[in-house]
Structure 1
């Protein structure tokens, strides 16, 4: 059986928690901030999936590995790419990737670099650091003995500090515009499987971690998928004041995912960002005639990745919806080429392109 992120996973009764490699720096109030994704990148980081606990079927593991190889080669046409993988896998990977893909000897379990990979921040004066979000396998739902150490291992390789204020979560669970505004579903953060404390206390830690000033919360959905409804498959900041949302196109109060999406949209329609602006929302719709017709398949156009000179987005085989999504992204990112990639293997496990990528900003 394929493991799907939209399933509440209990892969092991005793999920291994990764111990720290070295003491982390405790971050107080400073000028560190996480740049917007569309800012210039030094490189993109990807993770090589290998865990047989997560992927017990060899054929499906090969499918997700092929999707990651395709992403690596696509992005490498626009900026340097690093594949994080244990050294024993390097020769097999090297046969399938371009010269623009470098291999770092950093062991991995799974492919979700957005969540377990390093979240980089800058100080505006040439300084680079990694914000430690203490990845715990989405609330202890998946083993992460290697993935839980990736942020620290990358920091050691690059010689940059780790900043840790005790927050637990995943960067895929928060969207930010690089200008002081964050948006997230409460279900991914104000959740005892990640953080104790009140929403106000967790909000303070999130704002400090990202160097932001304004938090926009929507309820989300708790316990219906492994991520507790990460917002990056639904709503994305295009730029400050501008949000792209992927909506079902109809209202169905009996469907919790449909209801939650409309709840989030209603909140974003009536809120303001950190600069006092009403958000401008551009809407795209789910595909209706995708190659995969399964209720638990994630067909998210919104889960795209912005790299240097390009937007890497998914296509799902629905000619009309694929074209509309491509045209919308082209209008929203007029100075970038929009590249469509088949990543159905990731959709089967409830993720997408954004979930599998993590950027290192240029400084």
Structure 2
């Protein structure tokens, strides 16, 4: 089923609003994970168990082996559903659930494999499968937009990066083009632009790896871990952009900084886009990726202060970071929240 929307009718609930379910997917294609599915599956399973105490978790599986593996690892902590997908990055390929003029609606955008880098069968349709499973009508848009490329506050303010949205490998948009698209799709009132994301990010600088809203008018980002932090100047530039911005209500953004993980390398010796910002906000908990770095405890303590009414849980995420063409993300990248209706 599809629906027709008029302007000024869409509202995307913020991630901290009550949630009906959280959707994720089980690593299923060995070719996408350097022929090692056990390692990312361990990270996904730990995340699901951390969420399951206070949330309904739905896990997609692709094929009989993936289903058997997920059932063995997860037990009764999640509902398991068969679906076709290329890889597990549902933040980008899944639907964005919103409230429309006639009730819930699943917003669907085109995908082009993150600028043509990872063109996988099923990534263009898995969002429709999730919408169908939830009984949510869809509204499709004729341009590329990944969910991790935007961060919303529920009051009309969007954070994004020039590096992603204005990249020639997406839509070839100018800034006015991009802002017009966001205003139409999300009823956005204010778009706050950040120049670029982390080094080594397969997504070309998704904002959900560098800056996150945690309340209206309030945003969290990172400080460099030390003088050898490979993203030090970028992290300071991100904070400066946010501190100079105002939101859709005319408020100057309240910017909270927490320690970043610093230099993290993967199994191939490559600089990895590790970030504590790729956390999942859920009912009762916040699940944060950690990497065994010296700043890990301080970052978790700082985030617990940011989320005093939720339990902040740090979980290892080296498996999801992967190496080479495998991985590249973390917990927020592999989840999509379904708001309470």
TM-score surpassing 0.5?
Answer: yes
The answer to whether residue 128 in structure 2 is matched with residue 143 in structure 1 is no
The answer to whether residue 299 in structure 2 is matched with residue 297 in structure 1 is no
**Quick one: distance in 2 between partners of 1:351 and 1:329?**
19
The TM-score with structure 1 as length reference comes to: 0.85
Match of 2:19 in 1: 41
1:122 is displaced (CA, Å) by: 1.3
**Quick one: distance in 1 between partners of 2:181 and 2:193?**
14
**Quick one: distance in 1 between partners of 2:41 and 2:254?**
37
Match of 2:285 in 1: 310
Match of 1:344 in 2: 318
Match of 1:186 in 2: 162
Match of 1:279 in 2: 253
Query: Given that residues 199 and 273 in structure 2 are in contact (C-alpha distance below 8 angstroms), is that contact kept between their aligned partners in structure 1?
Result: no
1:131 is matched with which residue: 88, 102, 107? 107
Show the 5 A alignment for 1:139-288.
139-220=115-196, 225-249=201-225, 257-287=231-261
The C-alpha deviation readout for 1:232-254, integer Å capped at 9, x for no partner, is: 1111111111111113256789x
**Quick one: distance in 2 between partners of 1:328 and 1:262?**
18
1:38 is displaced (CA, Å) by: 0.4
1:157 is displaced (CA, Å) by: 2.4
**Quick one: distance in 2 between partners of 1:50 and 1:269?**
41
Query: Given that residues 258 and 303 in structure 2 are in contact (C-alpha distance below 8 angstroms), is that contact kept between their aligned partners in structure 1?
Result: no
RMSD of aligned residue pairs (Cα, Å): 2.5
Match of 1:90 in 2: 67
**Quick one: distance in 2 between partners of 1:177 and 1:235?**
12
1:27 is displaced (CA, Å) by: 4.3
The C-alpha deviation readout for 1:152-194, integer Å capped at 9, x for no partner, is: 1122223322112323121111111111100100111112222
Name the SS for the 2:45 alignment partner: helix
Match of 2:97 in 1: 120
Task: Mark the runs of 5 or more structure 2 residues left unpaired by the alignment.
Answer: none
Match of 1:107 in 2: 84
Match of 1:67 in 2: 43
Name the SS for the 1:208 alignment partner: helix
Query: Given that residues 220 and 256 in structure 2 are in contact (C-alpha distance below 8 angstroms), is that contact kept between their aligned partners in structure 1?
Result: yes
The TM-score with structure 2 as length reference comes to: 0.90
**Quick one: distance in 1 between partners of 2:200 and 2:303?**
29
Query: Given that residues 138 and 169 in structure 1 are in contact (C-alpha distance below 8 angstroms), is that contact kept between their aligned partners in structure 2?
Result: no
The C-alpha deviation readout for 1:202-258, integer Å capped at 9, x for no partner, is: 2111132223211011221699642111111111111111111113256789x6x44
**Quick one: distance in 2 between partners of 1:135 and 1:314?**
25
**Quick one: distance in 1 between partners of 2:244 and 2:228?**
21
Distance 1:278 1:30, change over 3 A: closer
Size of the alignment, in residue pairs?
Answer: 335
Query: Given that residues 49 and 111 in structure 1 are in contact (C-alpha distance below 8 angstroms), is that contact kept between their aligned partners in structure 2?
Result: yes
